[in-house]
């Protein structure tokens, strides 16, 4: 059984009001329709003992208007050649608590590939639903992110140092900003109302809206993180 069988995939279709032409984009684009590009929703394993090398998310591929498949997302193996736009990767980090005892925790992060760019465009599931066209002002904000050098964040015991790795990941566009231990959720708000929404320019030079819908599932799915995305436009 491949690791891709561990993910839960749900394809959601909806009707969205689409407007604007593709003339403001720097490449020739085909506007999205919900019939062609439904919202993709996946629950991804966060446990580093299960998701060892990360889960690769490939937003634009030959199956975008069909059933979800391994072309959308795949649990990676060492030296994998899967062409992902984002990798969801978790390692265990170590730190000393207030009493000097060594503690550990998982450090999940969303990392852009070197061929992708991104930026935050809003917050919350309502914003995600209402954002139907990649605005030129947002396209202008897209940027690459530095590669996280996990090897440089090892301590003397060969373990990932939490402070060193957090400092590296916090330079990323998404990084670990979706984690509920770091996400500020005001009183009266839910997680889905404040999770950041991102615009991603894929390696194929298309545009996708992306967000973490839920960082931690209900029992027995506490170790799963739910993500959603929808293609806004693809290069002709």
Backbone angles phi, psi at 175, to 5 degrees: 55, -120
Average pLDDT over residues 203-228: 94
pLDDT number for residue 13: 32
Q: What is the reported pTM? A: 0.83
Residues 132, 16 contacting (CB under 8 angstroms): yes
Residue 6: pLDDT above 50? no
Average pLDDT over residues 166-181: 96
Count of all residues that appear for the chain in the document? 236
Residue 19: pLDDT above 70? no
For the stretch 96-151, pLDDT in tens is 988 888 999 999 999 999 999 999 999 999 999 999 999 999 999 999 999 999 99
Q: What's the rounded Cα separation, in Å, for the pair 175 and 111?
A: 6
Residues 217, 226 contacting (CB under 8 angstroms): yes
For the stretch 37-85, pLDDT in tens is 889 999 999 998 889 999 999 999 876 655 556 789 999 999 999 999 9
For the stretch 189-204, pLDDT in tens is 999 999 999 999 999 8
Confidence of residue 86 (pLDDT cuts 50, 70, 90): very high
């Amino acid at each position: 059984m491949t690791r891709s069988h561990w993910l839960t995939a749900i394809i959601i279709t909806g009707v969205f009001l689409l407007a604007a032409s593709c003339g403001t984009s720097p490449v020739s684009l085909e506007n999205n329709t919900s019939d062609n590009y439904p919202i993709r929703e996946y629950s991804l394993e966060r446990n580093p003992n299960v998701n060892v090398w990360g889960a690769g998310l490939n937003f634009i591929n030959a199956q975008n208007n069909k059933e979800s498949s391994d072309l959308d997302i795949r649990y990676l193996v060492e030296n994998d050649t899967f062409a992902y736009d984002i990798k969801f990767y978790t390692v265990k980090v170590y730190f000393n608590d207030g009493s000097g005892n060594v503690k550990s925790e998982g450090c999940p992060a969303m990392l852009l590939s070197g061929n992708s760019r991104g930026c935050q465009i809003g917050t919350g599931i309502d914003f995600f639903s209402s954002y139907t066209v990649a605005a030129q002002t947002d396209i202008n904000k897209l940027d690459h992110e530095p590669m996280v050098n996990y090897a440089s964040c090892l301590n003397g015991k060969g373990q990932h140092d939490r402070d060193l790795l957090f400092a590296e990941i916090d330079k990323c566009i998404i990084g670990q900003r979706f984690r509920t231990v770091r996400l500020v959720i005001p009183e009266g708000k839910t997680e889905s109302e404040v999770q950041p929404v991102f615009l991603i320019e894929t390696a194929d030079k298309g545009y996708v809206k992306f967000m973490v819908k839920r960082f931690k599932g209900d029992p027995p799915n506490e170790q799963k993180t739910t993500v959603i995305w929808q293609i806004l436009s693809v290069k002709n």
